[in-house]
Structure 1
Amino acid sequence: MSATPSCPLCTRNPLVEIWSDDQLRVIDAQDPDFPGFTRVVWHAHVSEMTDLTHAEREHLMSVVWVVESVLRNELSPVKVNVAQLGNQVPHIHWHVIPRWRLDSRFPDAVWAPARERTPEQNLAWEVFQEQQLSLMADYHHALRNALEQLPGYRAAT
């Protein structure tokens, strides 16, 4: 694996890693505004999808779609945002972001300014957020199980 010392995604963090194989890893983004926000990160420091082979792109996207599917089944968001940008961190990674009507930016983009909330809305969000956080262990377990069923799954060595 090629690594760039200044790249935050070249350094692996086992505390947030949910699953990995020999090419990529799935991590919990640990964003309190979006419980369940998950990233799929290519191990090698590569900045563009077309730098990957066709087979590598197929594998990466199959993992992204499994993450989205399991996230929908386990957490039941009203929408899932899937994005690959790389402007700030030019290392291939996909964002899989659950969205709920109660989140402070819905229906705007996740990077939009948060909307003003009433005290009642803040309380409702805090209760909802705690409920979602209580589901994370089950979500991570279901995600690992689904990813290990992918054709050609190769455990990280």
Structure 2
Amino acid sequence: MSNSCVFCHSVGGELLWQDDLCRVVLVDDPHYVGFCRVILNKHIKEMTDLIEAERIKVMQTTFVVEQVLRDVLQPTKINLASLGNKTPHIHWHVIPRFETDAHFPETVWSKEVRQVEKPNIQDLALTLQAKLAEALR
């Protein structure tokens, strides 16, 4: 555990699912409905520092999150990203993208190309929890 790591000291969003290795959270982002993160439950900064079985499990979880988001939201595209420059703790961003989102077709970290209203994610969180629990069992 790192004293300064946000993912070591907080869940990192609304908890949707977790096991001993990782957790899936829904990010409260004003622009991106369905933005999830898959976060490792221990402080490790690189995927190659994990044993092979852990790497496979993290990626399988990430792919399940992607598929559930595709099934539920039917986005134009899903972006997967693992950066960690600011938070060097293994985590994957799983971001549904729509042609109407604030940055499309640019990256979510680019300058906005249009204004959008903040979506209500409460009902979505319950739907995603149920679908992820079923898919990750």
> TM-score, normalized by length of structure 2?
0.92
Amino acid at match of 1:93: H
Q: 1:6 to 1:27 in 2, by over 3 A?
A: same
Give, in whole Å, the separation in 2 of the partners of 1:135 and 1:36: 7
CA contact (8 A) 2:103 2:114 kept: no
Q: Extract unaligned runs of 5+ from structure 1.
A: 118-124, 149-157
TM-aligned CA distance change 1:72 to 1:116, over 3 Å: closer
Contact persistence 1:77–1:99 (CA under 8 A): yes
TM-score norm. by structure 1 comes to 0.81
CA contact under 8 A between 2:24 and 2:39: conserved in structure 1?
yes
Aligned partners of 2:37 and 2:92 also within 8 Å: yes
Once superposed, which parts of structure 1, at least 4 consecutive aligned residues long, lie more than 6 Å away? none
> CA, structure 1 residues 73+43, in 2 after alignment: closer, same or farther (shift >3 Å)?
same
Unpaired segments ≥5 residues, structure 2 = none
Amino acid at match of 2:55: R
Whether the aligned pair in 2 keeps the contact of 1:35 and 1:133 (CA below 8 Å) is no
Identity of matched residues, %: 42
Q: Provide the aligned length of Structure 1 versus Structure 2.
A: 137
Larger radius of gyration: 1
Task: Give, in whole Å, the separation in 2 of the partners of 1:116 and 1:52.
Answer: 40
**Whole-angstrom CA distance in 2 between matches of 1:10 and 1:24:** 12
Deviations, residues 71-129 of structure 1 (Å, cap 9, x unaligned): 00011111000010110100000000000111010000000010144xxxxxxx439x3
